[in-house]
Amino acid sequence: QLTAWNGDKLTYDTNGNRLSDGTYTYTWDTADQLTAITKKGETTPFATYQYDDDNRRIEKTVHGQTTKYYYDGDSIDVLYETDGAGNVQRQYVYSDNNVRMAMKVGAKTIFYHYNAHGDVIALTNEAGEMVAEYSYDAWGNVLQATETTNEAKQNPFGYAGYTYDKEIGMYYLMARYYNPEQGVFISLDPDPGDEDDPITMNGYIYTDNNPVMRIDSDGHAWQYLAAAGIGAAVGATKYYLWNKARGKKVTWKGAGKAAFRGAISGLSWTGAGRILGFSSKLKLGFKVAKDRFKLGKGRAFERVGKAAISNSKRLLKNPMGHIKRSPGKRYNNIKKIQKRQKKFDKKYTQKYQKAFRGSSNAIGRYR
């Protein structure tokens, strides 16, 4: 538990839920769901919350203004939101693979654009004009939020595609609330963790302190952005082998570009595409996202290239060892991924060169 922050003492109840932190006091129900937040020195909550039987937040009231949430069946995807009187305020449009593509406010529609981490980095209108731009640090603290229209100002989604509660500066991750300034959840994860991996036994830390490569869409278990990592390795390896075989010069900058293209490709052909949106059919304003993907020139690509080539050489030297360390092994509760992992392990020894053609990976399809 984090027990102090900026000179303020943090307190918790016996279930591990935060009770106070010098800024707010928190109220929890018997299911360990946050139900109210009160500012320090006050007695009346300024924010209250309600949940359904699936522990999804269905109502939020802040300073007397109520928002109700309506989900797509049993999923965690919000289809639309209403005010307290039932008037529809916002509707959301999803792709075939459940990627949030657009938000409709009245008669107007704005489109979401993401970076490789799944952060919302821009919004565009129907004319393809940028109406919002965002940037974040690795932990999700908002560094920039420029919103030029009323519709854009209503956008509730940000870092990693999470719902951002501006009034408290935290992200709602379904099961729990995440404080990006502190880099921790404010309540305890019911999963005790893995004794063989001690860091997982800390029930408060976010993504095991690896926010760059991991996300946590539901507040229970982080998901590895393995597709990007594997895709980057494949891209860099392909570049390395192709140029070496033809006697061409291998440069860090070239490797960096190849790794980056591989990362984007990797995201498009695995389950990560559902979260990050690279496999969606949305085309309007995509150039905005594409431009934001650019890492820059020279040194930026060189840094990526050095890391990618290093990983690629290790992959070539010890393919089985490299694959056995795949993050796919962490998805012990997903039978499909376990099956794919075993299939990949079995075929990789004799056919590992297929990986260099960008068509196979430890988590996605093997063709």
Q: pLDDT at residue 225 above 60?
A: no
4-56 pLDDT per residue, tens: 999 999 999 999 999 999 999 999 999 999 999 999 999 999 999 999 999 99
CB burial of 22-60 (b: ≥16 within 10 Å; e: otherwise) equals eebbbebeeebbbebbbeeeeeebbbbbebeeeebbbeb
Q: How many CA atoms lie within 13 A of 360 on its CB side?
A: 18
Using CA atoms of 178, 179, 181, 184 in order, give the dihedral in degrees to the nearest 10: -70
171-185 pLDDT per residue, tens: 999 889 999 999 999
pLDDT of 19:
98
Q: How far is Cα 288 from Cα 285, in angstroms, rounded to an integer?
A: 6
Share of the chain above pLDDT 70, in %: 59
Q: Running DSSP on this structure, what letter comes out for residue 355?
A: G
Specify the higher pLDDT residue, 237 or 21: 21
Q: How far is Cα 279 from Cα 268, in angstroms, rounded to an integer?
A: 5
User: Would the CA dihedral through 33, 39, 43, 46 be positive or negative?
Assistant: negative
293-335 pLDDT per residue, tens: 343 344 444 444 444 445 444 444 444 443 344 333 333 333 4
Least confident of 149-153, 196-200, 239-243, 321-325: 321-325
Q: pLDDT at residue 156 above 70?
A: yes
Which pair of tokens denotes residue 63?
């300073």
pLDDT of 250:
57
Q: What is the CA radius of gyration of the chain?
A: 22
86-145 pLDDT per residue, tens: 999 999 999 877 789 999 999 999 999 998 888 999 999 999 999 999 999 999 999 999
DSSP 99-144: -EEEEEETTEEEEEEE-TT--EEEEE-TTS-EEEEEEE-TT--EEE
pLDDT of 363:
30
Q: pLDDT at residue 347 above 50?
A: no
Mean of the per-residue pLDDT values of the chain:
73
Of 248, 205, 207, the C-alpha closest to 117 is 207
Of 4, 8, 17, 62, the C-alpha closest to 40 is 8
Using alpha carbons only, what angle is made at residue 145 by residues 143 and 150, rounded to the nearest 5 degrees?
170
